[in-house]
Each structure stands twice: as C-alpha cells, then as structure tokens.
Structure 1
C-alpha cells in the first residue's frame, strides 16, 4: 500500500465526494498520508451539529436544485459551486499536523500569486483596501490514531447565491445546534483573474509533492471508478439520505401562528432528528375538534411538507366536512417549514 497518495475526484456530487472522504479516512492505514482534491456543484454543506432549517433557505434550495449535504466535521454552513475548490489532508498520528497542511495550502497559493495567511479561526485570509478578507475556511476531525483537515478555497463563487441560501428567513427556532459565524469573504479571481479549479489543484499537488519530497501519481476517483472503495454503496446511501442530511439535526422547537377567516392558530412543534415528537395546537376556532385532531396526527411525522400533508390527509378522513379549512391550514404550514 502506498504511503503517500493524491486523490482527485472527477465528480461534482457532494454526497459522492463526502462519502469518498469518509471511506478513505476510515480505511487508510495509520502510517499513510492522503491529499484529496474535490469540487461540489451547487450545494449547501452544513456542519455535523447544525440545523438546516435554521441555517438555510431550504425552499429556495429545492426550487433551484441546490443539494444539502451534512459533513462529518463541525463548523458553519457554506455554499459550494464550481467556483470553489475543496481539499482534504489526511494522516496518521503522530504525523497528522494541521499546521503542516495549512502551510502546504499557503505555499501552493503563493506559487500562483496569492499571498494569504492563517488566522485564529481556522480561516485563510488576504488583506486588501477593504481590510482582512476570508477566502478559505477549514474544519477538522480526529480519531485515536489519525486525523484530517478539510477546507474550501473561493475562486469565483457566485456571492449573490451564497447570500440567498445562507440568510434564512426568521423562524422562531430555539436551536440546540451551532449557528454559523458569518465573515466577509473574497474570491481569489480578484487577485488572479485566470484562477480555476485545475490551476489550484496543480499548485496543491506540486506543493504536496515538494513538501514530502516524492513523486506521487494522481489517482482519479469517480462514481464509475469506486469499486475499490470498501462498502461504498452503503456509505453513499447514508450520505445522500434524508435521515443523515436533515434527520441528524439536533432537537429544536418551532413556534408558528397565523389567523385565518375561521380562527387563529398557534402551533408549537418539538422536533428531534427531523421527527415531530410533540405538537401542541391552540385555536379560537368555533369548533376546535379538527385542530385538536391535527395536533395528534402530527406526532411522529417527519418535519417536511410530506409529513404535514400526511397529517392533514389523516384528519380529513376523520372529519371530511372540514376539508377546506384543513387544506388551508396544511398549505400555510407547508410553506412555513421549508
């Protein structure tokens, strides 16, 4: 088995790339070191303990075909498109040292004209007339005998879309997860106009080879060339699942209220791992029965539009004379939880 490896993904699917990252990290020997370079198309990547409904505009993401991907590490939510390059450095202990991987990134960028520096919050920055500007964020993961450092490099990301997806509408959520720290960012094409993914990858590979003073062949990874990745199908199924990307959300409470022609509704949802554990509904409707039945029907449903629809359908079957009222309630609620 090779001691030093360079892997270059030919896929832009975030679920594929994060699955590859995790499998390589878990299966590598403790005396190996790996550089994995990859790129995701139109994705919001959230930290392991984050709440997607708090961090993201999930309805806008669904409309625009933007994927949600939960990573194994902590930290904040970030938007990825093809103007962004991702890197992962893996190594066994005691060799694993995030200051070494950080320096390799800085050396690589310096070779193409970007003079960056590291800051205390796991970021890489440059300074311009507007001050200190972030172009790279990192997160880390360690086990007993190995560790990895992964991060992003903003080259030409569409900043307007970044703001669209990462500025959620106010929702009365008391989240027990982690809220992203928002920082001023910069694309490196303002410094190196022709920068692109290949240029960054070539520079990173050269800096990596130079640091370890060895010639290393590049291994190309793709969905068609994943047969040698142990248990890949199972890992990919988990990485792409609703249960992992949404259902792994820490417990939170969502409070909603609205007034309809037939009465007002106050709704409190306790959600754990994306499942509604308890729903408390209050209403001044003249006949509260359908609202009370709806509160009961919400229990154990997923915190999704489909979950709301299932509960509404179940209540309509019990009290069909209130179908119009219940459908109005369901349409409003479905729009609120996206």
Structure 2
C-alpha cells in the first residue's frame, strides 16, 4: 500500500468538506487510489458541522451563527453536531475497502499524541479521551470499494462558543433524526500548553508514516490549485448550497401558540426537506379570512425566516386591511424561529 498525505491551507469549511469528498470520490476512481492510504489534515474557521441526518434548527442557534458570521456545514457522514474553529485540527483517513483499518487510524492518532506527551485512549467506537475528558470525536463513511474515517481533535477550541452555538433554543420541534449527545470535553492545551495545529499535524504525519513504515511528501492544498478541478467545484457548490445545508433536514413538526389582542393562535407546521408542507392554525379570531390566508401564505415556502418574512410582507401589501394582524403574526413567528 502506498501513502499519500494532503494538508489544506484553506479554512473555509465548505471547501474543506468538498475537498474531502473530492478526494474520496474522484481519487477513489483513480488508478493509484486502490492501493493507497491517504491522510488529509485540515481545519476550519468558526463553523457548526452537523451530521447528514441532523436538523440544524434543533442542533444549533442558526440566528446567532448568522449574526456572528459562523458557517453552517452539513457533512456527508453521520454523527452529531460539532463546533469547529481554528483551535480544532481535523483529520481524515481514506483507504480502499479491503485495506481499511479503523483501529489503525485511532492508533496513529494516539501515537501522535504520545509524541506530544499526551496519553489518550479510545472511548467506545467513535471517541478518544484523556482521562475522562473527550478530546476527539469521529464519523465514518463506506462505499463498495473505499472507506473514510474523519474526526476532530480539540487543540485550543473556544469552549464558550461551542456552548453558545450548540445549545439549541428549546423550540417546540418534534424532530426525526439524530440528536447530539453532549459530552464533557477538554482541549489538548490543558495537557500540553505548547501544542498547536502545526505541531499536532506534524506529529500525526510522523505517526502515519511510522505506522506504515514508509515516507511520503506532504501535498499542500489551496484554493488556487484545486479551483481548476471541475468535480471539486461541483462538490463545493453542493456543500455551500442552502438546499444541502438546510433542505436535507429530516421531516419535523413545529408547534407554537400565543394570544394577540385579536385572538389566540395555535400554529402547527409540518416541514419536509426544509419546506413547510402543511399548516394547521387553530384560532378563536373573529376574522376567518385572516386565518385561512395565513395558512395559504405559509404553505409551500421554505422554513426560513427571510422567506417567511418576505411572503407575509407581500400579504400585507396585497391586503392592507389585514396588515396589522399579519404584522403581529409575522413578528411573533419569526421571533419563535430564532435559535
């Protein structure tokens, strides 16, 4: 088996996840790939990365993220939501199916940490910890002929922001899918104050080569060198697209209720692929036309505050006699969607 080592200088998460998928898919069909173990090292600017089957509105505070220019990314693999910043080092192992060895991958990371004076152990199937503190989580993806294992190592991540963005607002959502399990976590700098992304990356590369008894040159990846790859550009467009990040959300329902001067509202919305497919409103409001019009306006639009606000603003202009009540309803609904 040959070795290949790639390291990204780019911190855009959509680019890095697209690069990971490009390596997995495009290089997986390359003549060299069937006999190659590939190591990819990368890190992201401030990002919440959710698993393929997760609901972003349940897992994270999407409003605060937008306000603070924090990326939302959905990866191809499963697992829970994680917060990335420049204090995280991310690793990906890609191998042909017959040569894939998950235990070997964990051993390489544990050996790398030993080089830095940190004794880590494998915890369960997915995580690594130091003592009883989690310092790494992993997820996996397999096809008929190749596999990958990727994970994150907490080097010096901002734990306050991790809590800020990953502790969801308690919306009345009944979500189908995987909900994250919060764990007691620690940064590696707590065990070695001198550790950095670069020193950790170097240690992982050394441990990777030592484990397989070979040497390999490190290929530095950047946007300029990879932008010419049409397949990579296609993956990047998918990763950055709203329909991938939000539209792939499993079916869920959102129920909220309140009382206005003009009547009580009990709103039920069924959402599929981030589109509001069915709306039921129970109300004691005297204006039945208002309730019917609100239901019609919300049905079939994206579960997105901007789209909802735009549609209801249009309704106010089209029916100015309902403007005051529609304005009340819009302000309430958009406020309840903040998370």
So what's the TM-score if we normalise by structure 1? Answer: 0.96
Deviation, structure 1 residue 58: 0.7
Provide the secondary structure at the position in 2 that maps to 1:48.
Answer: coil
Match of 1:32 among 32, 36, 49: 36
Residue 56 (structure 1) aligns with: 60
Residue 116 (structure 2) aligns with: 112
Deviation, structure 1 residue 292: 1.4
Query: Structure 2 stretches of 5 or more lacking a match?
Result: 28-32
Distance 1:311 1:50 in 2: 27
Distance 1:312 1:216 in 2: 59
Provide the secondary structure at the position in 1 that maps to 2:34.
Answer: coil
Distance 1:198 1:49 in 2: 32
Contact 1:267-1:280 at 8 Å conserved across structures: yes
Q: Does 1:261 align with 2:261?
A: yes
Provide the secondary structure at the position in 1 that maps to 2:98.
Answer: coil
Deviation, structure 1 residue 322: 1.5
So what's the TM-score if we normalise by structure 2? Answer: 0.95
Residue 234 (structure 1) aligns with: 234
- Structure 1 residues 160 and 298: CA distance shift in structure 2, 3 A: same
Contact 1:114-1:191 at 8 Å conserved across structures: yes
Contact 2:80-2:178 at 8 Å conserved across structures: yes
Residue 204 (structure 1) aligns with: 204
Q: 1:247-326 to 2 correspondence within 5 Å? A: 247-326=247-326
CA deviations 1:265-322 (Å, max 9, x no partner) are 1111100111111111122222131221011111110000122123313432442111
Contact 2:2-2:35 at 8 Å conserved across structures: yes
- Structure 1 residues 230 and 211: CA distance shift in structure 2, 3 A: farther
Residue-pair matches, total = 333
Provide the secondary structure at the position in 1 that maps to 2:80.
Answer: coil
Distance 2:76 2:10 in 1: 19
Contact 1:32-1:92 at 8 Å conserved across structures: yes
Distance 2:227 2:316 in 1: 49
Query: Structure 1 stretches of 5 or more lacking a match?
Result: none
Provide the secondary structure at the position in 2 that maps to 1:30.
Answer: helix
CA deviations 1:191-223 (Å, max 9, x no partner) are 100111001100001111111222211111111
Q: Does 1:193 align with 2:198?
A: no
Contact 2:227-2:233 at 8 Å conserved across structures: no
Provide the secondary structure at the position in 1 that maps to 2:109.
Answer: helix
Distance 1:332 1:142 in 2: 44
Q: 1:16-31 to 2 correspondence within 5 Å? A: 16-28=15-27, 29-31=33-35
Distance 2:103 2:229 in 1: 29
Residue 7 (structure 1) aligns with: 6
Deviation, structure 1 residue 173: 1.0
Deviation, structure 1 residue 227: 4.1
